[in-house]
Structure 1
Amino acid sequence: MNDYAVLWDWLSFGVRWLHVVTAIAWIGSSFYFIALDLGLVKRPGLPEGVSGEEWQVHGGGFYHIQKYMVAPASMPEHLTWFKWESYSTWLSGFALLAIVYYAGADLYLVDRNVLDVSAPVGILISLASIGLGWILYDLLCKSPLGKNDTALMLVLYGILVAMAWGYTQLFTGRAAFLHLGAFTATIMTANVFLIIIPNQKIVVADLKAGRKPEPKLGLQAKQRSLHNNYLTLPVVFLMLSNHYPLAFATQFNWVIASIIFIIGVLIRHYFNTVHARKGNPHWTWGLAGVLFILIMWLSTVPKVLTGEEKLSAAGEVFVASTHFPAVRDTVLGRCSMCHAAEPGYDGIHIAPKNVKLDTDAGIAEHAREIYLQAGRSHAMPPGNVSGITEDERRLIVTWFEEAR
């Protein structure tokens, strides 16, 4: 048994699970405090310094919450800081990026028909783009442009559109969407780690020392928090997109990604308005629906394919195996009705996850997935709709393990 492939797949699953759990914690606490802050009510008789309060009921009890705009007269001994949810989400996400896209760069990250670079170069491009994204964003926020929230957000949206296009010129479609999400999520976490939490700590230290905190610290943190609020939903979409090739593997994938940011802003605008008790802008859902139909249509536009599929050095090993002709016949007969440039299975219009197994190169490049999904497990074909036999599964296992 190829223990390495199995263990690595379980490691990927475990880290993915951790990433989802931490993301739930971060997004949940973030959305809760946004709703709480917008729903605070100013009532007569509130203690000095309290800007608003709210009563809530949950879990069989009642909660009375008050917000001090600067700080209470005396600081409490213990403060709960909401920061590790953000840090853990980014750290687990980067670990997953390394496990899936860096360790498997030849398969998932680099597409030599898009950009002919080696795996190490592709990884360096990935790291540089994510890091430079934060630097550019931070400089813009601290520039004179940062004083105009609307103008700043328009410029930032333009950068996101440019990055959506740029990533599709560098990586596979799947990796392009994932990197756009990582690019944005890094900005969000860096906002927490480098701006919001440090500014809050300075304010707390000033208050304890009897100094008056600088107002700009709070304003800066509030602006970054606002950006995080509106970027959350598009990031979630981009992180889920690797399961849906109609999103990442079509000709206008970068346009789809760009529109998703607008849809996310519309949905957050609706909830922010409702929580602030400023009305019910139902039009946002209508417009979001129209835009979603638009991206569905964009995903059906045929992709213009150029270039020939090339075998990597690893792929050549699998093709050279004496078992390959029999494995190829099995894959073509059991898998390629869905996993092909033009799927023949009813209801399948594009190869799932953009995995195409109708050529020698495609079979060789996806050898590991075939081994895990159809050899070591019965995950594929789904419900064994094509009737793959146990002998054929054993042949796939033998082919992969001997070639490795």
Structure 2
Amino acid sequence: MNLDLGAEDRRFRDDVRAFLDRALTPDLRQVGQRATSVFTDKRHSLAWQRILHAQGWAAPAWPVEHGGAGWNEVRRYIFAAECAAAGAPNLAPMGLKMVGPVLMRFGTEQQKALLLPRILSGEDYWCQGYSEPGSGSDLASLQMKAVADGDDYVLNGSKIWTTHAQWATHMFCLVRTRAEGKPQAGITFLLLDMKTPGIRVEPIITLAGEHEVNQVFFDDVRVPLSGRVGAENDGWTVAKYLLEFERGGGAAAGLKVSLSRLAEIAALEAQDGARLIDDPLFRRRLSEAQVMVQAVEMGEHRVLSALSTGGNPGPVSSMLKIQGTEAMQRLDEIGVEAAGHYAAVHQLAAREPGSNLMVVGPEYALVLMARYLNNRAASIYGGSNEIQRDIIGRLVLGL
């Protein structure tokens, strides 16, 4: 596996760096620095998406014929790494990285022509209706019903942990259209407008005090049959394809940035005149985290190498899901430890980008606790790490 970039890729990397230097305003950099989860508030992520869209870079993995950049795996990896290093805010993944690729693979020509340009421009903002109360990692047990009635499905039930449903214009969701037989064989993939009568969004406030997730209730909601993607009762096939994108790699660049910031914090923090970075026990924890991050990076390079030669990463994606989320959580723990009492100060309003409120404690401590609390979910969403270990046990170890 050759990790050295060729001359053309080095030139591409330099072009990306020059663009980020020009395009990333101080406000957008602050948004990236103060982000407390993988999701950025809609107004900030769309502001950055519009800039990237004007450059033709909003969808690195989309083919050119659908308005994407059409980059290969190496260039997509370079772009993600440079964005993380520059502190760019994350784009909302639900449209660009999830339902967009699904439509390209399974959507009708009419669906693709209507929806893909609106996803790319940010005109449509999507949320994901998968999990339900009692049906999270065991997604096949979902119970929200969709009954065919003329030209519509009639939906009743609820979805939970629905990120950014309060801002979404549309939802892609899984519904149960058949109760008999194997649970996976009775699920259908639907697209719907969030303004449809009968939809109610109730906020769920996280431990960090933020409104990121919701519970969404459906009371006799009528969704046109034309909103179905794929065949009726074949939604599980579509859902599995989408999860490949939700569980995708690319975490190492952001982890390396977090690791570097922790080293800087430890060099500033001091107790009884001694710097935290000089404490042998703390230095050991930081070094162990560095090994975890390097392992994630090497795993991502393995996947990159396989994809660039036409291969399939297979269960390595499950390994990366485990390693990436657990490394992130380890870094969060170290960050809270480094900031000490200041990490526990609840400063929700001061965390808002552009806030002029005085921060209690050092600026770098402002979001550490919120990140720690929000990222506890990282080892659960996208298929819990326990499920990923089961996949590795079956496909790799033959258990």
Tell me the TM-score normalised to structure 1 length: 0.27
Greater C-alpha Rg: 1
Q: Which has the higher contact order (CA 8 A, sep 6+)?
A: 2
Indicate the structure with greater helix content: 1
Q: Greater share of strand residues, 1 or 2? A: 2
